[in-house]
């Protein structure tokens, strides 16, 4: 068998390019590259046109998805000290529909609470959805 010939390995159910004979094994490499594997030369056979085509499409798809190997690196997620957090409240009171009034963003929760007090005083609405937003950074440990 010539190096580069595409063969089918029924044991692994994969198509590979024949590389060489290594002792009692045939050395095969995945279509598109990758780690070689050893196969029983008595069991491998030339790949059919459909098997070759499917293996080629699979290799192109794997390249296009950008598969990469990531290693674990420990990080801590902390609040970004250079950016101010934001606090905001939305009035969700109302008989048939929500009021929809919003405080707008504030740098401190006390400002949002003051807005809620004033809004309640004016409208008698008692229910609010509050949000908090900040920026976070990952720091390598």
Is 131 domain-assigned?
A: yes
- Within 10 angstroms of residue 5's Cβ, the number of other Cβ atoms is 14
pLDDT value for 95: 75
Is 1 domain-assigned?
A: no
Do 95 and 43 lie in a common domain? no
Do 50 and 94 lie in a common domain? no
Mean model confidence pLDDT for the chain: 90
Mean pLDDT of 14-30: 94
Is 121 domain-assigned?
A: yes
Do 26 and 49 lie in a common domain? yes
- pLDDT, tens digit, 9 for 90 and up, residues 29-80: 999 888 899 999 999 999 999 999 999 988 887 777 665 555 677 888 898 9
Mean pLDDT of 115-123: 95
Give the residue from 94, 130, 127, 125 showing the smallest Cα distance to 110. Answer: 130
pLDDT value for 74: 83
pLDDT value for 140: 82
The tally of domains found in the chain comes to: 2
pTM of the model: 0.46
31 φ/ψ angles, rounded to the nearest 5 degrees: -65, 130
Residues 42, 26: Cα–Cα separation, whole Å: 9
Domain span at 12: 6-64
pLDDT value for 68: 59
Question: Is the sign of the CA dihedral 7, 8, 12, 14 positive or negative?
Answer: positive
Helix (H, G, I), strand (E, B) or coil at 8: strand
pLDDT value for 14: 94
Do 50 and 97 lie in a common domain? no
Do 79 and 136 lie in a common domain? yes
Is 70 domain-assigned?
A: no
Percent of the chain with pLDDT over 90: 69
Is 91 domain-assigned?
A: yes
For tokens 């250079």, name the residue. 82
């Amino acid at each position: 068998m010539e190096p580069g010939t595409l063969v089918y390995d029924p044991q692994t159910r994969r198509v590979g390019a024949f590389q060489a004979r290594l002792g009692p094994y045939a050395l095969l490499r995945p279509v598109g590259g990758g780690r070689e594997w050893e196969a029983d030369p008595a069991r491998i056979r030339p790949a059919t046109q459909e098997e070759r085509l499917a293996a080629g499409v699979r290799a192109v798809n794997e390249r296009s998805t950008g598969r990469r190997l990531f290693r674990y690196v420990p990080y801590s997620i902390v609040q970004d000290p250079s950016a101010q957090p934001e606090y905001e409240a939305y009035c969700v009171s109302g008989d048939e529909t929500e009021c929809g009034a919003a405080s707008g963003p504030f740098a401190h929760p006390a400002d949002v609470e003051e807005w809620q007090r004033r809004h309640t005083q004016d409208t008698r609405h008692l229910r609010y959805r509050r949000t908090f937003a900040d920026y976070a950074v990952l720091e390598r440990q």
